[in-house]
Amino acid sequence: MITFLNLIFMAAVSAAVLAFVAASAMFLIWWERKVSAHIQTRFGPMRVGWHGALQSIADAIKLLLKEDIAPSGRDKLSWWLAPFFVVVPSIMAFAVIPFGRRLIPADLNMGILYLMAITSVGVIGIFMAGWGSDNKYSLLGGMRAAAQIISYELPLILSMITVVMYANSLSMQRIVEAQSGCWNVFHPSLALACLIYIISATAEVNRAPFDIPEAESELVAGFHTEYSGMKFAMFFIGEYTNLFIVSAIAVTLFFGGWQGPFLPPVLWFLIKTYGIVFILMWVRWTFPRLRVDQLMAFSWKVLTPVSFVNLAAAGLLLLRR
Amino acid sequence: MKDIYTEEFLINVGPQHPSTHGVLSLELRLDGEIVIDCVPHIGYLHRSFEKLAENRTYTQFILFTDRLDYIASMNNNLAYVMAVEKLLKLEISERAKYIRVIIAELNRIASHLLAIGTFAQDLGAFATPLFYCFRDREKIVDIFDETCGSRLTYNYMRIGGVQFDLPKGMDRKIREFIAYMRPKLDDYDWLLTHNSIFLVRSKGIGVLIKDAAINYSVTGPNLRGSGVKWDLRKDEPYLAYDKFEFDVPTGENGDAWDRYKVRIEEMRQSLRIIEQALGALPEGDPTSKVGRIYKPAPGEAYMRTENPRGELGFYIVSDGSVCPYRLKIRAPSFSNLAVLPELIRGLKVADLICVLGSLDILMGEIDR
């Protein structure tokens, strides 16, 4: 009986997470279009609903009704599975995101390790899409994505480890609680880690100036060139869900998570997360794109050594405390 | 391990591709991301203008020149009507000369704005600089709209003058535009010119050395980017250009960034020229007084002008009838494109797009 209730509870939580993912992705797509438009002296969507607020829903309906075109030379299995490999891990990552004091789908005691593992799976989906499409642009995009994401995983994880050292726990809730006095970003030995995290996270979600896998001016649309209809929509949802996830992780690790005065914790969490998302959008619509080798060089020659030094320095400071 | 081998990758960039600036097809041989060779294929936009000219009267052909370099139509009109005037040995009024200078320089700014906007887009600054450039270009297009009624293909220059005089209050409007545009150019410096990502992407990429530039007969900002101080407005002055003070900006290394920088500087110089021309605008009637049908004496004439993209030349042979016997167009983009394979061997795919963008070619005048 208990197991049955547990099952119902789990199903309810999953449904809630899925609903939030869909709503959030739709909101982010609309918001990005509005933000980019206003940066570019345009209005963006204005017709569907108030200031185009229902535009995402209209787009979703359009994509649902679209014909699913598949290239004849595709590799069937990887072609079909690729969108799922991109979307499913990014939804699974929600399991350990703390939205509030008790509002976390599952407070695993090794939550951050789970996050590191689960967010690395997405690259397999991207590579499968690049390989399975039987398109040279897609293949180039997929290869670039694999190289880029693997390169930036290292500084990303090193910066997360610095936080774990200070919080003395792998649990996301404990990390948030450890910041009740002072947010990690204002902590002298963790501020650099925060910067490294945000840079690597931008690369991890393939956003400008690191949007090399999709590089429209070079590779048409990169790994998802051949996808249309709902499969394309899944890549799109995956992209915006990842954007939310990396921002949520940044908030949890460096910006005090759901903590804040006056407003309820959930609201604080969402305000902070969407704040980080806004910064990532702002960067995307301002900067040109790096070249693929410059991107690799930046990761291996600058970011990785710096994060190692940062990790060692943070460790030394911790020992002296 | 013996079974593992790598092979060259043949890829067709275009004719449908976001960054080929029209219907250009590039056949690339790639080793991974490195370009081994590149063969540009042209001809997708061929409309047979040179042949069409043989069945049109001299006046009728003006509107075809609009469709050559459709970003800088005024300059094309200008080069053509000046070639015909040379053939007819026609003198035009001073006011017409000044108006032509003002209009041609405004058009040069519009064209360069588009060039740097698309260049930034090619470097991955997704649409933002492009939209800023379009915002500023819009002001010029509005000025043209009021002057001649068109926004893209103007058909404004006439043999012996221009179609209409400048409308009332237009000089104030153009002055307002100059005041508006100067700080905007500084904005572009902030947004792009000194942006570190922009610098690493374009500095030292696609270096066109002086001698190669001359040998390939590259002209315009691309030639000046390589450090050759050659500008027809200075070296072979036409209209009233010898009466104005302006500099000819040149680059140092001949890389993509230098070509971009030359364009930015040229816009500043164009604003200077427009300001001086407005100040000294003579009175009179600039419209053409010579009718529509001409029968030039048998003979030939060649006239070249400094277009935003380089030297545009019209070579006209007359047999004494109302139509040209033969008309040859020397389009700057054609030569500028020819140098592309030379520049990109050994570079990355991303650099190819960067170099192509920095050359600022336009398929309309390559295919003619």
CB contact under 8 A, B200 and A285: no
Q: Is B27 helix (H, G, I), strand (E, B) or coil?
A: strand
Alpha carbon of B88: minimum distance to chain A alpha carbons (Å): 47
CA distance A163 to A183: 11
Residues B172, B5: Cα–Cα separation, whole Å: 68
Q: How many contacts does A have with B, using Cβ atoms within 8 A?
A: 83
* Amino acid in the structure at residue B71: I
Q: Of B300, B270, B314, give the one whose Cα is nearest residue B68.
A: B314
Phi, psi values for residue B87, rounded to 5°: -65, -40
pLDDT above 70 (res A212): no
pLDDT over 70 for what percent of chain A?
96
Q: Is A43 on the interface with B (CB under 8 A)?
A: no
Decide if A291 and B128 are in contact by the 8 Å CB cutoff. Answer: no
d(CA A194, CA A156): 10
Residue A315: pLDDT band by 50, 70, 90 thresholds? confident
Find the CB nearest A285 among B128, B135, B198.
B128
How large is the average pLDDT for residues A295-306? Answer: 88
CA–CA distance, A77 with A37 (Å, rounded to integer): 38
Is residue A237's pLDDT more than 60? yes
Nearest beta carbon to residue A285 from set B33, B126, B195: B126
pTM (2 d.p.)? 0.82
Residue range A25-49, pLDDT digits in tens: 888 888 888 888 888 888 888 888 8
Give the closest of B11, B191, B197 to A290, CB-based. B197
Grouping H, G, I as helix, E, B as strand and the rest as coil, residue A226 is: coil
Answer yes or no: do A209 and B197 touch at CB < 8 A.
yes
Per-residue b/e over A50-61, b at no fewer than 16 CB within 10 Å? eebbebbeebbe
Instruction: Output the pLDDT for position A294.
Output: 83
Chain A nearest-CA residue for B195: A287
Q: Which residue has the tokens 């690597």?
A: A200
Contact criterion met (CB below 8 Å) for B94 and B262: no
Q: Determine contact: B125 vs chain A, CB below 8 A.
A: yes
Residue B121: its chain A contacts at CB < 8 A? 217
Task: Tell me how far apart the alpha carbons of residues A17 and B64 are, in angstroms, rounded to a whole number.
Answer: 61
C-alpha torsion A125→A129→A130→A133, nearest 10 = 170
Q: What is the pLDDT of residue A191?
A: 84
Q: Cβ of B321 under 8 Å from any chain A Cβ?
A: no
Q: Which of A297, A290, A136 is nearest to B205 (CA)?
A: A290
pLDDT confidence bin for A17, thresholds 50/70/90: confident
Structure confidence at residue A219 as a pLDDT band (50, 70, 90): low
**Which residue bears the tokens 């000819």?**
B248
pLDDT for the residue numbered B315: 92
Residue A287 in contact with partner chain B when CB distance is under 8 A? yes
Best of A140, A217, A301 to disrupt the B interface (most B CBs within 10 Å) is: A217
Give A144-197 pLDDT, tens digit per residue.
Answer: 888 888 888 889 888 888 888 888 888 888 888 888 777 877 777 788 888 889
C-alpha count within 13 angstroms, C-beta hemisphere, residue B113: 29
Give which of A122, A119, A125 is closest to A80, Cα–Cα: A125
Q: Is the peptide bond before B298 cis (omega within 30 degrees of 0)?
A: no
- Of residues B17, B131, B195, nearest to A288 (C-beta): B195
Interchain CB contact of B195 with A (< 8 Å): yes
**Which region, left, alpha or beta, applies to residue A124 given φ > 0 means left and ψ of -120 to 50 means alpha?**
alpha
Mean pLDDT per block of 10 residues along chain B (368 residues) reads 75 73 82 83 86 88 87 89 88 87 90 89 79 89 88 86 85 89 87 82 85 89 88 86 88 87 90 89 82 83 89 90 89 88 83 85 84
B329: which strand partners? B314
CA distances for A38 relative to A58, B120, B132, B137, angstroms = 21, 19, 12, 19
